[in-house]
């Protein structure tokens, strides 16, 4: 039977020793502290001070709570409840005590609630898991103290390893067992909301306790390893044999790595501290103040970038070439592509540094969705997971992480929802500009000044909405807890240093000697040209509507709003082609599919192939999605990805053709000769093997089309 709580003091710290210099100038051998840590040393039986007495009195439970504790003690003594029922009552009582004493240490709660218990109750009230873990940590610290001997007395590292293994195992059982027990108790359908709140308060206290003690085992190992390394250096300095201590140092470093590796200890710890992790994230993320910070963090950089590329640059070029539409579109497309590169590589990063710690960062799914807990509680009894249960739990974790990733991507460019936010923001801004032009003709809203301000406003709204939506985006787990997808990034460097780095990175990102940079510029150029062609078509339709009546003016406002997505859909499709190609190529390599191991000598047009794959398999895993699989939202998003794929082919095929033109021209004679040879064989009646088209291999999770 497992319940919570044990009277347990803080784990002793390891005393650091120093390398002392002798009068002769030699460095003496490192001596680890020969006395036991102060927390382990016996304390004199001095009378407690009045201050301590007052503090102890303040830590006592209230009279009603003390009565509840006494009633629970009688309930346990009478054997009236099952282990699960007893555990639930203990957790509720702990939560009530924490409501009175919010800063109480988890490991001291049982002592405060049950100051006097007989031997029978002690076995029930004092948590066996907690007690074993505490004892194992003390044994580990005692083993560390053995390293205080002279180097000639080599400690038994094998015994040290056994003690370490026992300590790690005890901590694993503690963390995993308590997590399993909390999970089973909180899953009880008849649990009242009040009791649930008390139990969750107890769970949070245990999570904080787990955070504190989890570092003690790796910390003790690192200290022991550092002391062994110092001993090796001292022996080398004295020109004495150090082989044994070198072996010890190596073994200790190996043990340090083992405690940091993946395994049950880490899985149990991650599950135990999860409530504390989520609480801290929500403290940072929740509230309108946090949402406002996120809005500003997204709005300022996007406002600067959009105002330059899609506002000022386009307006100036079109004003300079007012009568030749073809030249105007070509010049505007090239200029927009170049200025967008400047905005993306320089202005946007600088804007992000200006808002500094308000920038967001994605949260790794494993941080809020740990691997399955290695233990399960059944009617209050802790048991290891069976193989079937492990498989089922791992599948549940993978599914939840997939949903978390969808929610994380939902408000970003490249997904249907994220780009709808962008197109809606710019469309609204352009519609408002057109409406103001009708309401106040004297403002000349078609000049480049108002057009620049309009694009800045659209960028501000787009970036702000996307960023604030990312901060508020969460995924519920099976308990209904909201798992955040983003949090604030923070910063630890001065603004000047961060801006200098952003500028340096912008220079490197603009190096046209790199193929990737050239293709990015060409891709944006062709995407902008296609978008501008669409915008011209929308403007042509708008002019046929007239603007005399109120209805006609409203139609003009609507067409102005539609002009933005007409321009931006092909442009943004081209902008996203580079990242999507990288992700698709990485997925193919990770899957080790045919044709991915060896780089082809001739250009294989990866951007164009990825665009084609966006049309053929939009549901594949490496393409970002903001909607859940199997929903109508995913169906709509897949349709949108197919449209984007077609537009990407139109921009990426000429991009890669120009980039690889020298290689294509060089390979052309051989290709023509091969074609002529094949044609000759066909005409002569010889049978040749016709190589069929092989579809682009798809990674796991791809949605195959018939």
Burial code (b: 16+ CB inside 10 Å, e: under 16) for 446-461 equals eebebbbbbbbbbbbb
At which of 249, 267, 285 does a domain end? 285
How many other β-carbons are positioned within 10 Å of the β-carbon of residue 247?
Answer: 14
* Distant-in-sequence, close-in-space partners of 706: CB < 8 Å, separation ≥ 6: none
**154 pLDDT more than 90:** no
Give the pLDDT confidence score for residue 631 in this predicted structure.
93
Is the Cβ–Cβ distance between 2 and 129 less than 8 Å?
yes
Residue 6 resides in a domain:
no
Q: What are phi and psi of 156, to 5 degrees?
A: -85, 95
Is the Cβ–Cβ distance between 675 and 534 less than 8 Å?
no
**C-alpha–C-alpha distance, residues 674 and 680, integer Å:** 10
Are 234 and 177 members of one domain?
Answer: yes
Give the pLDDT confidence score for residue 695 in this predicted structure.
38
Are 515 and 526 members of one domain?
Answer: yes
| Cα-based torsion angle of the residue sequence 570, 419, 396, 616 in order, rounded to the nearest 10 degrees | -20
* Distant-in-sequence, close-in-space partners of 200: CB < 8 Å, separation ≥ 6: 95, 186, 275
In the numeric block, which tokens belong to residue 255? Answer: 């043990």
Are 269 and 340 members of one domain?
Answer: no
Residue 691 resides in a domain:
no
Give the pLDDT confidence score for residue 33 in this predicted structure.
32
Residue 481 resides in a domain:
no
Q: DSSP character for 343?
A: I
pTM: 0.80
**509 pLDDT more than 80:** yes
In the numeric block, which tokens belong to residue 698? Answer: 């798809």
Residue 431 resides in a domain:
yes
**605 pLDDT more than 60:** yes
List beta partners, residue 487: 361
DSSP secondary structure string, 70-98? HHHHHHHHTT-S-HHHHHHHHHHHHHHHH
Are 567 and 664 members of one domain?
Answer: no
The Cβ-side half-sphere exposure at 33, using a 13 Å CA radius, reads: 17
DSSP secondary structure string, 514-556? SHHHHHHHHHHHHHHHHHHHHHHHHHHHHHHH-SSSHHHHHHH
**C-alpha–C-alpha distance, residues 703 and 65, integer Å:** 59
Residue 696 resides in a domain:
no
Of 52-66, 332-346, 417-431, 440-454, minimum mean pLDDT range = 52-66
Are 455 and 468 members of one domain?
Answer: yes
Give the pLDDT confidence score for residue 674 in this predicted structure.
64
**206 pLDDT more than 60:** yes
pLDDT top residue among 598 and 214: 214
pLDDT top residue among 59 and 484: 484
Residue in 174, 215, 178 with CA at minimum distance from that of residue 11: 215
At which of 285, 311, 326 does a domain end? 285
Q: What does the pLDDT look like over 238-293, one tens digit per residue?
A: 888 778 778 777 877 777 776 666 688 889 999 999 999 999 999 999 999 999 99
Question: Distances from the Cα of 80 to the Cαs of 67, 76, 88, in angstroms?
Answer: 18, 6, 13
Are 563 and 647 members of one domain?
Answer: no
Are 78 and 200 members of one domain?
Answer: yes
Of 18-22, 50-54, 93-97, 343-347, minimum mean pLDDT range = 18-22
Residue in 92, 118, 120 with CA at minimum distance from that of residue 5: 92
Residue in 438, 411, 295 with CA at minimum distance from that of residue 355: 295
Give the pLDDT confidence score for residue 4 in this predicted structure.
41
Give the pLDDT confidence score for residue 322 in this predicted structure.
87
List beta partners, residue 360: 488
* Distant-in-sequence, close-in-space partners of 242: CB < 8 Å, separation ≥ 6: 151, 231, 232, 235, 236
Task: Kindly state the average pLDDT of the residues 612-636.
Answer: 94
Reported confidence tier of residue 41, pLDDT bands at 50, 70, 90: very low
**147 pLDDT more than 90:** no
At which of 285, 313, 340 does a domain end? 285
Q: What is the mean pLDDT of the chain?
A: 82
Reported confidence tier of residue 664, pLDDT bands at 50, 70, 90: confident
Q: What does the pLDDT look like over 529-583, one tens digit per residue?
A: 999 999 999 999 999 988 899 999 999 999 999 999 999 999 999 999 999 999 9
Residue 241 resides in a domain:
yes
* Distant-in-sequence, close-in-space partners of 510: CB < 8 Å, separation ≥ 6: 341, 342, 345, 517
Reported confidence tier of residue 593, pLDDT bands at 50, 70, 90: low
Residue 699 resides in a domain:
no
Residue 676 resides in a domain:
no
Of 223-237, 458-472, 650-664, minimum mean pLDDT range = 223-237
In the numeric block, which tokens belong to residue 463? Answer: 């970036």
List beta partners, residue 384: 375
Give the pLDDT confidence score for residue 42 in this predicted structure.
40
**305 pLDDT more than 50:** yes
Are 543 and 420 members of one domain?
Answer: yes
How many other β-carbons are positioned within 10 Å of the β-carbon of residue 680?
Answer: 10
Where helices occur in 147-263 by DSSP H, the ranges are 157-186, 193-214, 216-237, 243-260
Are 74 and 208 members of one domain?
Answer: yes
**296 pLDDT more than 60:** yes
Are 150 and 240 members of one domain?
Answer: yes
Where helices occur in 546-660 by DSSP H, the ranges are 550-575, 577-591, 606-616, 632-659
Give the pLDDT confidence score for residue 77 in this predicted structure.
80
Are 436 and 297 members of one domain?
Answer: yes
- Total domains in the fold of the chain: 3
Give the domain range for residue 440.
286-359+416-472+489-572
Q: What does the pLDDT look like over 356-379, one tens digit per residue?
A: 899 999 999 999 999 999 999 999
Task: Kindly state the average pLDDT of the residues 620-636.
Answer: 93
pLDDT top residue among 148 and 507: 507
* Distant-in-sequence, close-in-space partners of 158: CB < 8 Å, separation ≥ 6: none
Task: Kindly state the average pLDDT of the residues 505-514.
Answer: 91
Residue in 530, 533, 512 with CA at minimum distance from that of residue 521: 512
Are 442 and 583 members of one domain?
Answer: no
């Amino acid at each position: 039977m497992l319940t919570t709580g044990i009277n347990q003091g803080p784990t002793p710290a390891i005393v650091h020793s120093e390398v002392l210099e002798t009068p002769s100038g030699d460095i003496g051998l490192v001596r680890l502290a020969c006395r036991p840590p102060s927390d382990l040393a016996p304390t004199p039986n001095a009378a407690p001070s009045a201050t301590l007495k007052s503090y102890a009195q303040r830590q006592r439970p209230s009279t009603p709570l003390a009565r509840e504790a006494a009633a629970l003690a009688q309930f346990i003594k009478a054997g009236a409840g099952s282990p699960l029922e007893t555990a639930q009552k203990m957790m509720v009582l702990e939560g009530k005590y924490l409501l009175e004493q919010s800063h109480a240490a988890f490991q001291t709660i049982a002592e405060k609630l049950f100051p006097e218990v007989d031997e029978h109750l002690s076995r029930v009230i004092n948590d066996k898991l907690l007690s074993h873990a505490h004892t194992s940590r003390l044994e580990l610290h005692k083993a560390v103290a053995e390293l205080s001997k002279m180097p000639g007395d080599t400690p038994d590292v094998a015994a040290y390893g056994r003690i370490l293994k026992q300590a790690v195992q005890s901590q694993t059982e503690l963390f995993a067992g308590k997590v399993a027990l909390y999970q089973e108790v909180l899953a009880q359908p008849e649990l009242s909301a009040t009791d649930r709140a008390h139990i969750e308060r107890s769970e949070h206290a245990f999570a904080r306790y787990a955070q504190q003690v989890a570092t003690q085992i790796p910390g003790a190992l690192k200290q022991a390893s550092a002391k062994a390394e110092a001993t090796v250096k001292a022996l080398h300095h004295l020109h004495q044999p150090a082989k044994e201590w070198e072996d010890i140092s190596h073994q200790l470093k190996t043990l340090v790595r083992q405690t940091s590796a993946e395994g049950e200890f880490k899985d149990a710890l991650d599950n135990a501290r999860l409530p504390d992790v989520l609480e801290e994230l929500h403290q940072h993320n929740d509230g309108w103040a946090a949402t406002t910070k996120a809005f500003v963090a997204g709005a300022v950089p996007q406002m600067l970038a959009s105002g330059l590329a899609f506002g000022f640059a386009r307006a100036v070029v079109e004003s300079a070439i007012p009568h030749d539409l073809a030249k105007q579109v070509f010049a505007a497309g090239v200029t927009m592509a170049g200025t967008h590169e400047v905005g993306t590589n320089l202005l946007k990063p600088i804007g992000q540094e200006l808002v500094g710690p308000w920038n967001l960062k994605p949260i790794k799914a494993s941080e809020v969705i740990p691997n399955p807990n290695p233990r399960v509680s059944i009617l209050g009894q802790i048991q290891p997971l069976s193989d079937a249960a492990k498989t089922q739990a791992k599948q549940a974790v993978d599914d939840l992480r997939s949903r978390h990733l969808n929610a994380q991507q939902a408000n970003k460019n490249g997904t249907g929802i994220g780009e709808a936010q962008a197109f809606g923001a710019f469309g609204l801004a352009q519609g408002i500009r057109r409406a103001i032009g009708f309401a106040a003709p004297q403002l000349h809203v078609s000049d480049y000044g108002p057009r620049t301000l309009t694009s800045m406003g659209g960028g501000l709204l787009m970036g702000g909405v996307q960023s604030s939506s990312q901060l508020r985006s969460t995924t519920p787990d099976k308990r209904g807890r909201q798992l955040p997808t983003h949090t604030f990034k923070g910063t630890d460097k001065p603004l000047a240093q961060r801006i200098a780095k952003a500028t340096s990175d912008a220079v490197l990102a603009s190096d046209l000697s790199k193929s990737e940079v050239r293709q990015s510029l060409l891709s944006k150029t062709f995407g902008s040209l296609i978008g501008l062609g669409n915008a011209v078509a929308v403007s042509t339709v708008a002019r046929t509507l007239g603007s005399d009546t109120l209805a006609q003016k409203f139609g003009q406002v609507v067409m102005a709003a539609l002009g933005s997505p007409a321009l931006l859909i092909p442009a943004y499709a081209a902008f996203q082609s580079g990242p999507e190609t990288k992700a698709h190529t990485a997925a193919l390599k990770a899957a080790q599919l045919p044709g991915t191991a060896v780089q082809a000598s001739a250009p294989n047009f990866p951007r164009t192939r990825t665009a084609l794959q966006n049309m053929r398999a939009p549901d594949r895993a490496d393409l970002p999605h903001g909607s859940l699989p199997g929903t109508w939202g995913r169906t709509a998003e897949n349709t949108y990805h197919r449209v984007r794929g077609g537009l990407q082919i139109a921009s990426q095929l000429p991009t890669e053709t120009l980039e690889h033109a020298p290689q294509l021209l060089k390979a052309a004679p051989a290709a023509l000769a091969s074609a002529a040879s094949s044609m000759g064989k066909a005409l002569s009646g010889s049978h040749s093997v016709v190589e069929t088209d092989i579809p682009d291999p798809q990674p796991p999770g791809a949605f195959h089309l018939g």
